[in-house]
A and B are shown apart, each in its own frame.
Chain A
């Protein structure tokens, strides 16, 4: 099946999937915190557009509510909170050099291939478009994890965490036209509470170790000291 034979909605969803995947890679290679947060907000914005698009073309109005929630939470509130935190720590100029950036990017690429490999068994049941959408969502989830592993700042961990949520949200929108409304509201509530808790945690971590570098959180382990 050629892409120009599909309808407009499918084509749009495919390009959105590509763009969302791209933002994940951009985040992975980013060493400046403010830019990382900006790309994260961008990813949230792409999700909002996808949701509106899906809501419009499938004529399901509850998706507009999800779109509004995404816009408020992931494009405005969370980036604003993280940005304020970075400013507060005067960390905006600090560049934390990523150790072996090439390896991380290569790892990211292989995770994407891996996602396609895992989800390949579903091809007989559905269209290739769905495979793309689901595989990109899964790779956004996995790339979020890689982001958390490779970056040492607590802010980057939160961005990774929230970008995992983005990947899941994208899967829900594209594959199943959104979850049932009650579930979606519940998930949005959890994300909101998580964001607030992260804010509280930044305060605690800063007062206890005077930094947001999570490598300094290393008191508890199984190795004899």
Chain B
């Protein structure tokens, strides 16, 4: 349990520390160290859970089981690698004079604030606190989206704030309905604890829970970026600093999906029908197809990849909706590989934008000739995210497809169509950016590409052979969510 407290305590210290001295030089490195310690603590926590099974803190405020512990480790890992990238990226932005001391303080402080909110969403046992932390994540990142204070970034931040705020308010209404159903079977103060709710799920009133789930899905779905609630996502990703895009895409969306799945587990227990699953499949498939189609229309490189996030989140939501061991296993794997790949892509995109001084894809040319590592990183990352074998995304998408063919064969063509459209949409843009001659006056920048190499290496490894302990871990989580194991 100490490990869990440590995971929460370190970012909390980080917030205060950076709020005071965040503008000094080398703060990027301290940010890396803090995230590194968090990663170690989360691995310690993961080992504990692997050995002892589910851990419930003595006051029942925190619950760590096989489902959230792997997300905690993933969050810590992506948080660490992104902070490595952010260190050199922010130093470069400061040299360009885009940022003042106060904004650097804000940036580092809120980076830790965001991490704290994410760990809180994942570790808490209280559905109400989960909502509070989710809203906290919005509040922490909203000022980071408008960090550059351009009219566009302020517009994006305002949209993000209003849309996510209103959206997540629906989730609070859902949580209140959930609590309302729970107090009817007693246990006042403890009634919102997930562990209590899960034990008594069969007794909860199914009518109320069905209504509640609609609100919960729409609310947290806004944060997942489900169509038609996705409008904030491309704006917030494209206008904020790139490390922020990487953590938003890699972590925030996952954790919002985690909240939905937790609630789905309760609702499924109470209703004994697949209402929640059908809703998630519908929303997921719509987001997947719309995201894939919109890839073709983009002009801004960061907007391109944020639509790709919408597409992938749609696929995961769909897979969790299909349910069953294989689809759930695939969705968990897809969450992991998507986070790793997408944050790696955003790192290279950030460097590409710094090399060329623009985010407009028409003007980005000849990346491989200018700085080979950035160009190849972008190309390989795009191949991975488009679902080329042998990368991990291929494995998870293939499993989703298999599960769909098994349970709902008539939906499989839509998935194939979407994958095809997305593939074409990504490559028509990326190909011309990485190949070709370099334009006049385009110079390499100082870049740390280790995060990209590590992430893509891991994705490749997961695609070739999932290591035994990880497969075991995914199986345990699948068992928890769907009630049986895939293997």
Contacts and interface: CB of A to CB of B under 8 A. Distances in A.
- Which applies to chain B's interface (DSSP): helix, strand, loop or mixed? helix
A222 B208 CA distance: 38
Interface stretch (B15-23, B84-92, B152-160, B262-270): B152-160
Interface of A: 118-119, 121-122, 124-125, 134, 137-138, 141, 144-145, 148, 154, 157, 161, 164-165, 167-168, 171-172, 175-177, 179-183, 186-187, 189-190, 193-194, 197, 200-201, 204-205, 208-209, 214, 217-220, 222, 224
A194 B207 contact: no
A179 B158 contact: no
Interface string B189-220: 10110000000000001011011000000000
A47 to B, nearest CB: 14
A205 B155 CA distance: 8
Given A164-B166, A186-B128, 14 more contacts: A119-B211, A121-B208, A122-B211, A125-B205, A165-B169, A180-B192, A183-B128, A183-B129, A189-B132, A190-B136, A209-B151, A217-B154, A217-B159, A220-B238
B172 A168 contact: yes
B130 to A, nearest CB: 10
Contacts of A220: 152, 155-156, 159, 235, 238-239
A112 to B, nearest CB: 15
A104 B200 CA distance: 43
A168 B176 CA distance: 8
Contact of B192 (A124, A171, A183): A183
A121 B212 CA distance: 12
Contact of A141 (B149, B154, B169, B239): B169
Nearest to A187: B132
Interface string B157-180: 111011001100110110011011
Contacts of A180: 126, 128, 188-189, 191-192
Contacts of A209: 151
A167 B208 CA distance: 18
A125 B184 contact: yes
Given A205-B154, A205-B158, A217-B158, A168 B169 contact: yes
Contacts, number: 128
23 contacts: A121-B207, A121-B208, A124-B207, A125-B207, A125-B208, A141-B173, A144-B166, A161-B162, A168-B169, A168-B172, A168-B176, A176-B179, A180-B128, A182-B126, A189-B132, A190-B135, A194-B161, A204-B146, A204-B149, A205-B158, A209-B151, A217-B155, A220-B152
B176 A190 contact: no
A222 B230 CA distance: 12
B361 interface: no
B393 to A, nearest CB: 25
B294 interface: yes
Contacts of A224: 297
B380 interface: no
B208 A194 contact: no
Given A205-B158, A208-B154, A183 B132 contact: yes
Given A118-B211, A194-B165, A182 B239 contact: no
A176 B176 contact: yes
Nearest to A168: B172
Nearest to A137: B173
Contacts of B208: 121-122, 125
B139 interface: yes
Contacts of B8: none
B419 to A, nearest CB: 22
B313 interface: no
A182 B143 contact: no
